[in-house]
Structure 1
Amino acid sequence: MRTRTKICGITRIQDINSAVHAGADAIGLVFYPPSPRHVNIEQAQCLLRNIPAYVQVVGLFVNATAEEITAVLKQVPLDILQFHGDESPKQCQSIAQQVGRRWYKAIQVKPGLDVVAEIQKYQQAGASAVLLDAWHPELKGGTGHSFDWSSFPQLDIPLILAGGLNPDNIEDAIHTTAAFAVDVSGGVESAKGIKDQQLIERFMQGVHRGSANC
């Protein structure tokens, strides 16, 4: 089965075009104001007009309330929610039920964390997938750091690999983890929030090679 790919932190129409042309399965929009990749409602609406059918739109939220997410969804028709903060399984489940969207949870792989047990908690709460990202004491994703891929589990839930991925290591990352999907942001940028078409194309080529040889 081929590895799916999400290009996250899109802020410009030309970057959507580059990602779609290269074969990305999903586009990630960041609704977290402290992030340099944050987009507001007006920006998101403009970007969505350039995303074709069969390419999913993922909204990334960090410790947002159901009311805050509902306010976004009234104006931006996101396909799926990515909870990227400290949300508990119960909180994710409750918000998703209130807003009527599928969801998945990003888990930072901290030293000493029982990753399998943590994944299973969110799986039992109804997560469609779980994303494993590198841990950082302050930042919520987009750190450019990776974790030990050899610790990547194999479970009966789609697992997404993130953290420190780039065109030079993505093929090896897929070989090592056999992840259902990969999520990249900084690894295909020329500056924070500014994607590079050539890096996106090289990244997607690496994904295809990795999937073919997995």
Structure 2
Amino acid sequence: MKPKLKLCGNRSCDDWKLVRESDANYAGFIFANSPRRVENNQVAKWLAEYPSNGMKIVAVFVNPDLEEIADTVSTVPIDIIQLHGNENAPFATKIKQMTGKEIWKVIHHCNAAKEEMIAFAGIADGYVIDTKLPGQWGGTGKKFDWESIPSYKEVANEQGVPLFVAGGINDSNVTELLSYQPDGIDLSSGIELNGGKNRDKIEKLQERLC
């Protein structure tokens, strides 16, 4: 079964215009300290000028406060809130109650990762497994040990939610990743050239997914 596709880290209107013309199911915008950080008013303007046409919009946060999330939700027409830091389950519950939005939790690959997923059972509407490097929460362009994907997928399946994989994915290795049958794949740097999204890289990726 073809995995869902999320193209993340859109940092300009040009990025967004490329991604909205793609086969992606989800488009991600980062509202956290990052080279790809965007502001609420910017994204609201891009989405007003170039509507998503059914593509779901994911807002990515790293250890936010409730006010920060409330400001974004009131300004930007988002569908999903992705928590990419060390947020805990009670905090995610508060966000869900406050916004009524789906919550995706990023789980950083480590020995305690499955236990963290279990703690979010009944709260997270989806998981993204990503690589964690010192001083960085994501967007590293580095893959983790993909042989661990089946064990993560087993936990997600038990909870009835999708499992996305992020970190170091590109058109040259995505075929290998598909052999582990993730529910979705999440790319940012793997579809970029010279600091922006690249049409050729997106098209090559989509060819691999057919």
- Structure 1 segments, 4+ long, off by >6 Å, are none
Q: Once superposed, what is the RMSD of the aligned Cα atoms?
A: 1.3
1:75 matched residue in structure 2:
75
TM-score, length of structure 2 as denominator length: 0.91
Deviation, 1:20, is 2.8
Q: Is the 8 A contact 1:123 1:129 kept in 2?
A: no
Deviation, 1:84, is 0.4
Q: Which runs of 5+ in 2 are unaligned?
A: none
Partner Cα separation in structure 2 for residue 98 and residue 128 of structure 1:
15
1:59 matched residue in structure 2:
59
Partner Cα separation in structure 2 for residue 98 and residue 52 of structure 1:
24
Q: Return the letter of the residue paired with 2:117.
A: I
Q: Return the letter of the residue paired with 1:149.
A: W
Q: Which runs of 5+ in 1 are unaligned?
A: 209-214
2:92 matched residue in structure 1:
92
Q: Return the letter of the residue paired with 1:150.
A: E
1:129 and 2:131 equivalent?
Answer: no
- Identical-pair percentage: 30
Q: Please give the per-residue CA displacement for 1:12-60, whole angstroms capped at 9, x wherever unaligned.
A: 233223223230111101101x201111122111221213331000000
Partner Cα separation in structure 2 for residue 67 and residue 48 of structure 1:
22
Q: Return the letter of the residue paired with 1:179.
A: P
Q: Number of residue pairs matched?
A: 202
TM-score, length of structure 1 as denominator length: 0.89
Q: Please give the per-residue CA displacement for 1:67-91, whole angstroms capped at 9, x wherever unaligned.
A: 1100111111210000001101111
Partner Cα separation in structure 1 for residue 178 and residue 119 of structure 2:
25
Deviation, 1:191, is 2.9
1:185 and 2:170 equivalent?
Answer: no
SS in 2 for 1:105: strand
Query: Which of the numbers 195, 198, 203 marks the counterpart of 1:196?
Result: 198
Query: Which of the numbers 161, 166, 177 marks the counterpart of 1:162?
Result: 166
